[in-house]
């Protein structure tokens, strides 16, 4: 079950939802068929709730949104990027424990 704090992103909404955001944004680049992506999913939802109001969290399905995935050079998934003021400031590739995500996020906020 998806958290109400996690935004579903698309090529069409990426600029408005992420690049123009007033607060930092964590974007989970994922796909249905990706096992590690499914492992990261619940962590991403917990982070969205933990940082509600301070960090926007979104998921972008790379199979459905190839333009955005290509624009940011996503080669393997899961890849999570943290954007601040429209720029990538952190990158996390592959499955990591929740503490690793929190360390990166706290460094940005």
pLDDT tens across 42-84, in order?
999 999 999 999 999 999 999 999 999 999 999 999 999 999 9
61 is catalytic: no
| Angstrom distance (rounded) from CA 39 to CA 11 | 24
Mean pLDDT rounded to a whole number for the chain: 95
Give the pLDDT mean for 77-93: 97
- The answer to whether residue 34 is catalytic is yes
Which band of pLDDT confidence, cut at 50, 70 and 90, is reported for residue 2? low
Catalytic residue among 31, 34, 93, 108: 34
Which residue in 6, 37, 48, 77 is the catalytic one?
A: 37
Check whether the bond before 36 is cis (ω within 30° of 0). no
Look at residue 89 and tell me whether its pLDDT is greater than 80: yes
| Predicted local distance difference test score (pLDDT) of residue 103 | 97
Three-state SS for 63-101 is CCCHHHHHHCCCCCCCEEEEEECCEEEEEEECCCCHHHH
Q: What is the pLDDT of residue 3?
A: 66
Q: CB within 8 A of 106, min separation 6: which ones? A: none
Question: Is the model's pLDDT at 39 over the cut of 80?
Answer: yes
């Amino acid at each position: 079950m998806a958290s109400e704090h996690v935004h579903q992103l698309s090529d069409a909404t990426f600029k408005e939802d992420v690049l123009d955001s007033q607060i930092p944004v964590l974007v989970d680049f994922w796909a249905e068929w990706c096992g590690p992506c499914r492992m990261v999913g619940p962590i991403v939802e917990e982070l969205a709730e933990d940082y509600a109001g301070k960090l926007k969290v979104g998921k972008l399905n790379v199979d459905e949104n190839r333009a955005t995935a290509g624009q940011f050079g996503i080669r393997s998934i899961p890849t999570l990027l943290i954007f601040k003021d429209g720029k990538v400031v952190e990158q996390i590739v592959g499955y990591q424990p929740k503490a690793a995500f929190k360390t990166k996020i706290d460094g940005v906020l």
